[in-house]
A = this chain, B = another copy of it.
Amino acid sequence: MSHNTFGHLFRVTTFGESHGVALGCVVDGCPPGLPLEAEEIQAELDRRKPGQSRFTTQRREPDQVKILSGVFGDDRTGGRQLTTGTPIALVIENTDQRSKDYSEIRDSYRPGHADYAYDAKYGIRDYRGGGRSSARETAARVAAGAVARKVIPGVTIRAALVQMGPHAIDRARWDWDAVARNPFFCPDAEMARFYEGYLDGIRKDGSSIGAVIEVVAEGLPAGLGAPVYGKLDADLASAMMSINAVKGVEIGDGFASAALRGEDNADEMRSGNDGPAFLANHAGGILGGISTGQPVVVRFAVKPTSSILTPRRTVTRDGHDAEIVTKGRHDPCVGIRAVPVAEAMMACVLADHYLRHRGQVGTTP
């Protein structure tokens, strides 16, 4: 069962509510002997941290991570902390909780939010800041992802925002270096400049907007994944769809492949110096659920933030019609902060499949 656990050999169990005492995760199955310091995890968390520009929530959480277990170092390890193969517990305390901001949502269901669904399921919910359904949970994912990145050698995992609202980037201008230089994680510097004004407008309207994120893993060996329910793409689809507000996932050409003819879609091959080389990557690096050695390319759609200042019709917990305006500090485009989360989920899935493959087949692919 997997309510709050993700993965099999590399397993992440997260816990915590938006305004509870703390959130965090337990990473189980991490191989021993990998150097791991809190600072490295912190660096990833800082990329996701709110309040870094006017385009993300102004909630100010330091999001300071603490490693509770699973690492050890002494003079024999040169003072460095190494993973020991035992579970790594990571905790982030909640400090900026301002519960009063959220008192209204106690009684009225916010459209587009999980409020009603949680009540229908559990009959009780921690409504403060969305409780367990808050995107704040993704901080724990990012922390786990920082561990996962260490598991597979030689793989580069990067994500970027490639569309905001109806405005897709120009792929000809793709520049990975640009990603760190604008507040949108956008690889198209020109489009990023456009987004500034565009998102300012949306924010001032009290509205929000959707986005598309692309994640790419390069340097992955062929052979990860497995038929037929342990497919690498099936697990990636599950991983990305489990991120808050995600409504669609595609691999390689994705939905566009529906419109293609066979000869345009299937990636041809030629012999190369390091084994077979593909002449295109419509498949997004995965065939039959197994990696081919090409870059693994995943895209997903993030719906617009549901918390907006425009009044919306809803019902109250006890069944009366109402109107609701979700005040508080919200991301006008929640897709932006999904970028480091996407990398983390990709890292976790790949680490898991790497260990699974090594278990079953015995070689390091």
Q: Does A6 make an interface contact (CB < 8 A)?
A: yes
| Cα distance, A235 to B6, chains bound together (Å) | 12
Partner of A87, one of B4, B282, B289, B321: B4
Q: Does A86 make an interface contact (CB < 8 A)?
A: yes
Partner of A301, one of B258, B357, B361: B258
Partner of A321, one of B77, B226, B271, B282: B271
Q: Which of A93-126 contact B (CB under 8 A)?
A: 106, 109-114, 116-118, 120-126
B313 touches A86 (CB 8 A): no
Closest 5 CB pairs of A and B: A114-B288, A359-B359, A112-B266, A248-B250, A117-B290
B3 touches A229 (CB 8 A): yes
A87 touches B14 (CB 8 A): yes
Q: A120-B223, A228-B4, A303-B260 are in contact. Are A15 and B26 (CB under 8 A)?
A: yes
- A351-364 vs B, Cβ < 8 Å mask (1 yes, 0 no): 00001111111101
Q: Does A63 make an interface contact (CB < 8 A)?
A: no
* A120 cross-chain contacts in B, Cβ below 8 A: 221-223, 290, 292-293, 365
Q: A233-B241, A268-B312, A292-B117 are in contact. Are A132 and B248 (CB under 8 A)?
A: no
Minimum Cβ distance to chain B for residue A153 (Å) = 11
B234 touches A241 (CB 8 A): yes
Given A237-B240, A258-B303, 12 new contacts (CB under 8 A): A1-B9, A1-B29, A15-B87, A16-B87, A22-B69, A22-B89, A68-B91, A72-B131, A118-B290, A121-B222, A164-B258, A248-B250
Q: Which of A201-234 contact B (CB under 8 A)?
A: 202, 207-212, 221-231, 233-234
Q: Does A171 make an interface contact (CB < 8 A)?
A: no
Q: Does A44 make an interface contact (CB < 8 A)?
A: no
- In the complex, the count of this chain's copies comes to 4
Q: Does A247 make an interface contact (CB < 8 A)?
A: yes
Minimum Cβ distance to chain B for residue A177 (Å) = 24
B85 touches A121 (CB 8 A): yes
Nearest B residue (CB) for A25: B26
Q: Does A137 make an interface contact (CB < 8 A)?
A: yes
Q: Does A5 make an interface contact (CB < 8 A)?
A: yes
Q: Does A66 make an interface contact (CB < 8 A)?
A: yes
Q: Which of A236-253 contact B (CB under 8 A)?
A: 236-242, 244, 247-253
Interface size class of A (residues with CB under 8 A): 35 or more
| Cα distance, A303 to B284, chains bound together (Å) | 12
Q: Which of A273-317 contact B (CB under 8 A)?
A: 275-276, 279, 282-284, 286-293, 301-308, 310, 312-315
- A312-337 vs B, Cβ < 8 Å mask (1 yes, 0 no): 11110001110000000000000100
B113 touches A72 (CB 8 A): no
* A314 cross-chain contacts in B, Cβ below 8 A: 268-269
* A241 cross-chain contacts in B, Cβ below 8 A: 231, 233-234, 236-238, 249, 251
Minimum Cβ distance to chain B for residue A295 (Å) = 14
B84 touches A122 (CB 8 A): yes
A202 touches B253 (CB 8 A): no
Partner of A242, one of B28, B125, B231, B260: B231
* A131 cross-chain contacts in B, Cβ below 8 A: 72, 84, 86
Partner of A222, one of B113, B117, B306: B117
Q: Does A32 make an interface contact (CB < 8 A)?
A: yes
Q: Which of A222, A254, A291, A359: most chain B Cβ within 10 A?
A: A359
